[in-house]
Chain A
């Protein structure tokens, strides 16, 4: 049986609020949320030769299409991007398709999500004049 590649991911959030005291300050779990937050999922990749693409380090400036190495824009079901902070270590913006550059990643931060196989480009970009280095992992659907 052929190897089946899968990706499991987990996202955590801890909202905090600061209370100032006369003797100092202290951070608590945010009382508007009341708990830590988390979610997780698993995707199964297609089994052809460009189903999973992992790049450990890639310098970027301007806009870069992540899946160009696969030769297709079709059917991607997962993306993970991390700002490694090489070069000037500026922020990087990630788009999960259709030029939706809403996601800002500072150095050390990462983004992961399931995608809808809509056949659109997965891109990242830096602001004008900025540059950094990223790590990424993308996968096509099974």
Chain B
């Protein structure tokens, strides 16, 4: 059992632009850092930030606070026998080449974790590990502005002033065809 937990996170953004090189034989596209935005403001650099979420509790709300499992996982963490969303063998899918459990996301709206407690979340990470687009709602299944395409992920710290600040108020869905995800839902 951990005595404390924390999550280090970061974002790195590379704005770039492509255009044909003049007077070239094979008409290769030239790729450079984005020199200016559309209004002419200089960019010409990468941007990003990083931080540490130290608000995360050592004892989480359930074994389902992450979707992960792996051969080195402690035996006492295999304790969620909730049908469909638990982490027993009959409720999970395991990829052959990575250590992890992928949770299936359907086109019908579903909570990030169906067993999530009505407790303020401190940190969330969600990655689309499947082949189809998924959406994320941060206001309890009302607005679906955030898109997570295959291979993309989002990570953020929760705000206690937000109306829908509870772990059971984050929703996901796929667009059309079911996809899969991995997640951390830390309180």
Q: Scan B107-132; emit 1 where CB is below 8 A from any A CB, else 0.
A: 00000000000000000010110000
Pair A3/B7 contact, Cβ less than 8 Å: no
Q: Given the complex, which residues of B lie within 8 Å of A104, measured CB to CB?
A: 156-159
Q: Given the complex, which residues of A lie within 8 Å of B3, measured CB to CB?
A: 17-20, 25
> Is B25 on the interface with A (CB-CB < 8 A)?
no
A18, B68: Cα distance in complex, Å: 19
Number of interface residues of A (CB under 8 A): 75
Pair A135/B51 contact, Cβ less than 8 Å: no
Residue ID in chain A nearest B56 by CB atoms: A15
Residue ID in chain A nearest B40 by CB atoms: A49
Pair B157/A106 contact, Cβ less than 8 Å: yes
Q: Given the complex, which residues of B lie within 8 Å of A2, measured CB to CB?
A: 19
Pair B5/A98 contact, Cβ less than 8 Å: no
A30, B12: Cα distance in complex, Å: 23
Given A110-B48, A115-B147, A116-B144, A33:B139 Cβ within 8 A? no
Pair B159/A11 contact, Cβ less than 8 Å: no
Q: Which of B57-103 contact A (CB under 8 A)?
A: 58, 60, 63, 65-66, 68-70, 72-74, 77, 99-100
Number of interface residues of B (CB under 8 A): 73
> Is B4 on the interface with A (CB-CB < 8 A)?
yes
Q: Scan B137-154; emit 1 where CB is below 8 A from any A CB, else 0.
A: 011001111111101111
From the candidates A9, A37, A39, A49, name the one contacting B39 in the complex (CB within 8 A): A49
Pair A96/B68 contact, Cβ less than 8 Å: no
A97, B146: Cα distance in complex, Å: 8
From the candidates A9, A33, A109, name the one contacting B13 in the complex (CB within 8 A): A9
> Is B176 on the interface with A (CB-CB < 8 A)?
no
Given A33-B68, A37-B182, A105:B146 Cβ within 8 A? no
Q: Given the complex, which residues of A lie within 8 Å of B41, measured CB to CB?
A: 53-56
A110, B12: Cα distance in complex, Å: 9
Q: Given the complex, which residues of B lie within 8 Å of A41, measured CB to CB?
A: 149, 151-152
Interchain residue pairs with CB less than 8 A apart (30): A2-B19, A5-B16, A5-B37, A7-B13, A8-B14, A12-B10, A15-B66, A17-B5, A31-B2, A32-B68, A33-B66, A37-B127, A37-B184, A39-B128, A41-B151, A77-B147, A91-B159, A93-B159, A100-B138, A100-B139, A102-B139, A102-B159, A102-B164, A108-B51, A109-B50, A109-B157, A114-B149, A114-B152, A116-B147, A127-B161
